[in-house]
Structure 1
Amino acid sequence: MFRPAAIALLWLAFACAPAALAQSPSAGVSPSEAMALEAQVKDIEQLAVTAHWRDSDRKIGALASRLDALTPLQRHRIDYVRLRNRALAGDQPAALKGLAELLKQDLPVPLRVRIYTTATSVAANLEDWPRAFAWLNEGLKYLHETPTEAARLLGAASYLHTLVGETGRARELALQALQIVEKQDDPRALCMALSDVGLAEDHAGHFSEAEKWRHRQIDACVRAGDPVFIANGKYGVGKMAAAQGRHEEALKWASEALAEFQAVGFEVGAYSARLVIAESLIATNRQLDQAQAMLVDTLRYYREQESDLAIAETERLLARLAEKRNDIAAALAHTRQAMAVSEAVEVVARERRLAFLQVQFDTRLKEQQIALLETEKALAAVQVTANKRRQLMLAMGMAGFLVTAILLSILLRRSFLQRRRYRWLSEHDSLTRLLNYQQVRKLGAEAFARTRASGQPFTAIVTDIDLFKQVNDRHGHAAGDEALRALGAWISETVGADGIAGRSGGDEFTILLEADAAQAQALLQRLRDRMQPITVFGHTFRFNISSGVCQAEGQAVTLEQLIHEADQALYQAKDEGRNRVVRAADAAFASAPAAGLVVVGSGIQFGRHASERCLSEIREAQVVFCLTDPFALAMIHGLRPDVVNLGAHYAAGKDRRETYREIDAAIMAEVRAGKQVCAVFYGHPGVFADVPHEVVRKARAEGFPARMEPGISAEACLYADLGIDPGHRGVQSMEATHFLVYDRQPDTAGLVLLWQVALSGDLSCTRLHAEREGVQALVDKLLRWYPPEHEVILYEAARLPIETPRSQRLPLCDLPAAHYEEYTTLVIPPLRALRDDPAFAPGA
């Protein structure tokens, strides 16, 4: 199955302009007739790149009766255009077969390189990656012989490298092609080269840069008179505008591209433009029925083409549309479809990467084989001219074979060692050289099952370095790394082959033993005796460790629970003063689950941001409550089918304060019933959240253990997505209505964040959408300190891995007309420079 991402490569290859190729006329053809035939062939080649493929196909049909009068080279040129047209018409397997046969002919270098470019593209579209990369490597050998074709082949090479994840190399190749065509007076070649650079920047995620290159592409392609690539450039501008949140512009450009693609009959480009149009209609919340119809038709087309990547994108847009219409069930269904298809896309991407690496390996092997053949040829020549030295030459030949065999053996051994090294790296922590978290769990599960079946004891140990942050703060991060490295080595020496030891993350380590708790405590004592001071950069320091131990007994029915209880024992050791070992069997929680509450954060993207501790709490709790987005709720439902959705307490027009108290009561009812309760909240549970703090306070006031585990918040995502360091200028972070109602003044020399802008001025706590009057009131107050044209940012974190964050930049005065979601954040960059405090001036 092929994907529309590779269709961009098809546009590049089919854009190859005809080069000047000449050959003597066939026998029996007069010079005037030969000139007329050559003119017809050139006309066919020109039509192939400036008009609908059917136009050049009709010309080829009209010339069919005169094929015998053509020279072999002219027939090869006509065959190339005919095969190119078959690919454009959708019969790419037949086109690929014909191009492979054509490459076997005796061809001039410019035509051969042109065919290599197109054949590489068609092979990529059919996902015949070994052949695509092999033909690309063969074509690159001819670049120095045909500068006129070099730019096109470099463009194809750029895109193929993009597909295998080599985005830096892809951009380098595209810019190299651009440098070549800028030295030529060829508007069409410049049009194609600019398209290559724009495509490379797009796939590298440089949307602003890609948009600039696409505008240059449109200008160049208009001068060249290429309708397909004019439409392609407009589609690219629309796509980049949408990626940057400028959906009105995106709608305009994509609509123009759609009309122009349809005019030239380029169906794949037309459907790509439809996706941008649908996305922009959804984002601007208008003509949703048209967007629905367009997406349904597009999904049908891509399913017929088995285009996985495009199917995933279309399903994602349908999910967003369903969410706009508050159809949560449909949104969840489309999201699941998108995620399922995305998994297939990732499999294909891995296969493509493997094919690329295999071709690279095969190329090196062929070069060695060619070197060997050349050695044999030289040996044969020497034997013919100097028979008396035959025995000596034979010995030299055998030596050459032996050297080659040794070299091949060394190469194979090196390859084997590298594979073993990569496998080792995938299973071990690079700093401590212990097993990584996933491998500890995998091997531990096997050992745990074995001991449970045989009735043998099994014990889990969780240990970490006391006050590890102080080690980093006092002695530097190099000292912290050395402490982890040394502790890893001591653990490895102490445990040896008697257990499974690994680094869980940070400064925490997990040890699993097929032994009882007493033997585990003895091992920990040997470890503590083994520890000694560490010297880094001339500074000597020492550190202590705390450990939690839990032996598998009746209440520990799973390895996860056993490690969890050992982890809780570690907490007990910390609470009792550190530098000690606590056995779970001696702690109050080991006998039977006690009532308690833990509040955890799901992060913004649950699949990426949820910590292992968060997942462990969800699995181990007796009752799980959840107040997250629908996607995270669906994932948590997969872990805990009995999860309680707190979102059911919300209703249109209902006072949110009443909703919060209902949620408080639901959570506390289960805690008071003597159950272990886990409440999962979106993002960080303690940031701009009323309920989590309230239930923790109530639980503690009533004598129940309660704690909060942090999560990744939207603010943390904001700093990463926008590239902002809050430590550079400082930051003020406030809820928008709080800022509007109270006498708060912004620090214009620092960063200001205003949250829940859509609910500005909502004192009734009943609104769930933006109102222009409330946003205008917020702008009016901000205009006291900021000029109307001051650039601000509307930010929304991406909630799914297949989404991109929103970072729309606009003047402050345009905020009332902008689009808002309930979770939109207003980012106000600094207005003025920092000034020195006179109190700290020299001499003050």
Structure 2
Amino acid sequence: MPLLRCLIALMLFLAAAGAAAVGNPPSAAQMQHDETEYQRLRGLGLKGETDAALQGMQQLLQRELDPELRVLAYTTGISMAAGVERWQQAFVWADAGLNFIEEAPKNSALLLSVSSYLYALVGDLERAQEFGQRGLVQAEAGGDLFVLCRALSTHAIVQELRKDLTALEPLRRRQIDVCGKAGDKIFVANGTQGMGMYFAGRKHYAEALQWFRRALQLFQAEGFDGGAQGAKLEIAKSLVALNQEAAQASVLLREAGRYYARQRLAQPLVDVEQFQAELAERRGDIADALQHTQHALQHTKELDRRMQERRLLLMQLQFDSRLKEEQIQLLEASTERAKGEAKAARKQQQLIAIAALSLLAAAALLLALLRRVFRDRQRYRFQSEHDGLTRLLNYPALLHQGAQVLAQARAKGAAFTAVVVDIDHFKTINDSHGHAAGDEVLRMLARWIGEAMGQRGLAARRGGDEFTLLLNMDEPQAEVLLQHLRGLIQPVRAQGTTPTLRFSVSMGFCQSDAEGETLEQLIHRADLALYRAKHEGRDRLVSAHHETSLPSNSGLVVVGSGIQFGRHASERCLSEIRRAEVLFCLTDPATLAMIQSMRQDVINLGRYYATGKDRRQTYREIDATIMAEVRAGKQVCAVFYGHPGVFADVPHRVVNQARAEGFAARMEPGISAEACLYADLGIDPGRRGVQSLEATHFLYYDRQIDPAGLLLLWQVALAGDLSCSRREADPAGLQALVDKLLRWYPSDHEVILYEAAQLPVFAPRMGRMRLSDLPAARYEEYTTLVIPPLDVLREDPCCGLASAVAE
């Protein structure tokens, strides 16, 4: 129960139940007297004579008490002190009582539960959770149903405050069961109301309303007015949320408001005023709504003030406690220091000698460690920057160092050339002679590369059988060096192979001749030259600047990434991505990251989108960007999410425009969200047929639906958006969509909100709900509405083929 005073009332019930659990006291006369005094003080507290009860409890706790009775006295005292908002006394007793829980296993669960309440009241939910969990464990171990009932209630209320709905439901159901068996109807009612709070937190207000009404009946039957008023308030809040019975909700809110005003409880008064303001606004009474809103703000300020006072008090008590502990520690340290000084006087000479020896040993050890760390750092750095097989640089290290070397060459006006070397038919070597033979070929080629280059550039193994060289020379000089490298290549005999392995290499090279060209772009041009070398027959050296007889590949290819790029991208798609001179990408972030790992020069078209910007303007800017590269004679590839031709304006437009201007242009299909939908939902569109429409198109045009078939509505979150600038769901547009669908479907017809999984570790969303519940659901920009068939297929009386088809 979220109301402060009701929580305190429950704590008093808890303390009273704990008193009954003490049982027969010890036989000693003093213990009998203490037990009698405790019962008298508890009775005073229950009758409302709190001042006398607290004073007597303070005196009782100063005596030597049985641990079980002491823990119980602390529990009752905390409850009474909290009931009259004497927070300092309550926290002092809680801090003291927690030191005795190990000595009093019988009643420790009660004290832990009350402490959990206490810390929940000041907003320290972590400590409240800790004490509540410990109290529940103690109660379960004790086997007392009354104690377990209250421990479950405490722990459930803390979960309510922590908004942990997953843990809340099983706790509340178990509370109802255990408290029912224990015969405690008050806490059965409390658990029933807690179930209502769970469903309200899930926004299932109809189910919540049923639980709240049941709780009200139980509270009224037991005469617990505080609980009954809390239930009335929650009933009113549920009616407002459901937009039902506004008159009854208003009556309940007024009753609750009068009760909580008498009790001076700020938290529930905030709820009462806020919901009365909402009802007034629905009636069109703006003045009344404003007045209630102002009252709610006043109560909120009072609530914040009280909460701040309680928190400051707790912090002060914790500070005082730590200060006392530090004073004790200082006193103990002073005593120990005096003893230590006496010993130090006797052993001073010995310690000086030991310190000198230790210093020398530490210095020697430190020097040894520094040498080892230095060697390890050198080794780790070498391993992080070099290929383990060939000992050449790895590709990331080449890019890092090469960018610096390229910048230095440009600053000096010196030539700079990139070379890509690839072993011809390397896969055949691995397949025919084994990977050990292939590794030996790679090692020998790396050795010959190092011998040919010397200190005139950088060399790296790019991956597989491909190497990249960066040379501080122009193309003619590079060609001489590379011809020398070809001359160094000899047949290789790997360990365990009888014949020698003969192999050749293909090489493409390119000199940097553009001031703004990046290293990745330069290497890519060398890659294209290597591609020409392989196309012309391999075992040759080709410059990117030499004329070629290859047919022109300038033009445009649009490819689809699929929904999960790692699974869905075809080999043709990957080939186009690698070969393109200019690569554009408009996909989800995960796909973009994977493509960037293949091509660091990829251009992200997502930069053209902006909040509030008309998507049609964005599309035209993307069109212009792609066509500019196509008109420049480049081989352009554009990667789009899913299938590039499904619900996509830009891909079709640029392909048609490129063809109209005489360029070669084509589209490679990809796996679409619709294909994933059929697989995930187990739907065969061929059985009933399917209508597939964009939601706004369906909403604004007179489209007729065949309810006997499957209906797919795409981008339902953007339904009704003619501005093409909104990217989030609009309840008004969704309601308009539902209203139109009600022409063909009943309001309780089950529909599905589908979202394909974008990564293998994710699961697709397949949320089922009633058609009328769509406006309140959660949406992403790409959410698809799936409406299963409604009607049974009927045979066409004009055609006798339907029965035969069915058979």
What's the TM-score, normalizing by structure 1? 0.44
Q: Which has the higher contact order (CA 8 A, sep 6+)?
A: 1
Between structure 1 and structure 2, the one with the greater Rg is: 2
What's the TM-score, normalizing by structure 2? 0.45
